[in-house]
Structure 1
């Protein structure tokens, strides 16, 4: 009887892991998912991640039970003429598994192709007009956001209230404000940014800017793409508009923030 429960729990865990794994494979990168309040089937990025983790543990747990109940059959699969762990099936599957692990770690085709395809899907999701100026900006309180863009918390609350955004306290985070008003952190930030005199676009580690293409970076900086190419060329940097900032920077012996500084006229 217990064997049936184990098999069914293992099956259900596999179904959930398949669905959650697929969603995690195609969902936008964290910076975009959190910033835009991304959801799929009513669940956000954290909820899908939690589902995948918990059912992953369940799958491992019931997987061990499955091995326990079927150990005789598994032992026969492993046993060759010279003893256990010498069967042709064991050796072939062990070699294949090792090859997949090494290929994935060293990022070689076809494993690289699979990951690149997922990256392409992640980058294809629509992006907000303004990207977050720092890592996890959505978790910052309104008071800190106001300080960053050069206005007082009182002014920030006044502006948001005028747009129908309800706020109880300047200590509320952008995410809390957005959830309460059925909007996104990006839209709340963009409202505040319209009255700010500061430039919101600053490259900071952890914001994911390195994954953007040069074309996207140029648009964020309000610089014509061809002008970006000219600026980089004058500084001895060969570039392609469809190349990711991180790849472009490292290929030319620089860090992503240094490319941003060059485009903004820094040294």
Structure 2
């Protein structure tokens, strides 16, 4: 397909801009806390929430697919001509380039597979280290070690739609635990000299009770 230099330049420029934005959104999602933790702690990256970055990354991904397709159609003939010319001049270099591209693709696949496996292992480890309680309204309450390190009592209460002050009262009345809504969960654990696994169970039970009593 013959195309003007203006069209080629425009496609390349837009593709470059979209690539940069996709890279930025990918970095944002890589750094984002898992699951509902991002919403609970009000996490943002460059002023945007995790949900916003997920939307941006998804839509820009589709835009990039379209732009790459246009880029290939517009430059297909030129690509074939250049490959034929290069092949005539040096078949060894062309073959080496193809092998190098293949190695990069294979290496990328294994790197992605390793990263995915690592994320799954981390998730399974986190889940196994967590404490889960299912309340009468079928809401599963899960407390993990990462939540203790990153959430305040108030943020945890908001995650499960209960009143933070009510949770403070239950912890004091039922478990003799002194706590303030703005305190980090790990700080409450340390200040009250609690065993971590026991504290996870207490928090799950306290949240379940708060939900049963109407928040």
Task: Compute the TM-score of the two structures, normalised by the length of structure 1.
Answer: 0.44
Supply the distance in 1 between the matched residues of 2:65 and 2:174 (Cα, whole angstroms).
Answer: 51
> 1:26 corresponds to which residue?
31
Supply the distance in 2 between the matched residues of 1:74 and 1:221 (Cα, whole angstroms).
Answer: 67
Structure 1: give runs of 5+ residues left out of the alignment: 117-122, 147-188, 200-215, 229-259
Between structure 1 and structure 2, the one with the greater Rg is 2
> 2:208 corresponds to which residue?
none
Q: State the Cα deviation string for residues 15-49 of structure 1 (Å, max 9, x = none).
A: 21122122222222233211112223331110011
Counterpart of 1:102 (choices 84, 89, 110) is 110
> 1:2 corresponds to which residue?
7
Structure 1 residue 106, shift from structure 2 partner: 3.2
Counterpart of 1:93 (choices 90, 101, 121) is 101
Matches within 5 A, 1:179-198: 189-196=163-170
Counterpart of 2:150 (choices 127, 144, 151) is 127
Matches within 5 A, 1:113-262: 127-130=150-153, 132=156, 138=159, 145-146=161-162, 189-196=163-170, 219=189, 223-224=193-194, 260=197
Q: Does the residue aligned with 1:28 lie in a helix, a strand or coil?
A: coil
Supply the distance in 2 between the matched residues of 1:107 and 1:37 (Cα, whole angstroms).
Answer: 26
Would you say how many aligned residue pairs link Structure 1 and Structure 2?
151
Matches within 5 A, 1:33-44: 33-44=38-49
Q: State the Cα deviation string for residues 66-120 of structure 1 (Å, max 9, x = none).
A: 1112223433448857x9xx73212211122112211331359xx97xxx9xxxx
Supply the distance in 2 between the matched residues of 1:6 and 1:263 (Cα, whole angstroms).
Answer: 54
Q: State the Cα deviation string for residues 221-263 of structure 1 (Å, max 9, x = none).
A: 9655xx66xxxxxxxxxxxxxxxxxxxxxxxxxxxxxxx4798
Q: Indicate if the aligned counterparts of 2:189 and 2:199 stay in contact, CA closer than 8 A.
A: no
Q: Indicate if the aligned counterparts of 1:77 and 1:89 stay in contact, CA closer than 8 A.
A: no
Q: Does the residue aligned with 1:53 lie in a helix, a strand or coil?
A: helix
Higher helix share: 2
Counterpart of 1:66 (choices 53, 71, 78) is 71
CA shift in 2, pair 1:14/1:262, >3 Å: closer
Q: Indicate if the aligned counterparts of 2:29 and 2:53 stay in contact, CA closer than 8 A.
A: yes
Supply the distance in 2 between the matched residues of 1:87 and 1:19 (Cα, whole angstroms).
Answer: 34
CA shift in 2, pair 1:80/1:220, >3 Å: farther
Higher relative contact order (CA 8 A, sep 6+): 2
> 2:137 corresponds to which residue?
none
